[in-house]
Copies of this chain bind each other. A is one copy, B any other.
């Protein structure tokens, strides 16, 4: 549970592989968490797009506060992440119910999640209503460098999830294409 700062130019690497993510918000009275599987990197800043809308209780807080934290869970948290995605913050305190620890962020009021692999503090910079798309700009990122379990997992959309397997290295073929600092 020791989050240390991650360079902002490496932050897109947390989102690009397409893992299931958690998004925390706070309205000062209560912290909340939602599970999001539809998201993408937009640039190396990074700006990040999420598909969400009024059907998520967190959406209203997200729109009002214009802040959130994206937390990246690993496979040991999978059942909690599914649970978070299938109940509403309207009825439960999800941090308590799922025994997760909110940690203070630095640039936003929404909390980090201590048990996750990494966290990205984000500001909402746009909401494109016809597309149902929230546009976030990462302000600051954190990673737990000592965490043993580092495998993220990806939603298949049918209630099954695929866990990270082996890693392939093609850096030698891609050197010209890689952004600075990654």
Contacts and interface: CB of A to CB of B under 8 A. Distances in A.
Q: Which DSSP category, helix, strand, loop or mixed, fits chain A's interface?
A: mixed
Contact of A173 (B12, B40, B83): B83
A19 B18 contact: yes
A94 interface: no
A99 interface: no
Contacts of A163: 164-168
Contacts of A13: 156-158
Interface string A36-70: 01111111000001010000000000000000000
Interface centre among A39, A164, A170, A178 (most CB of B within 10 A): A170
5 contacts: A18-B154, A42-B51, A75-B168, A86-B176, A159-B173
Interface of A: 10, 12-13, 16-19, 37-43, 49, 51, 75, 78-79, 82-83, 85-86, 126, 128, 131-133, 135, 151, 153-178, 182
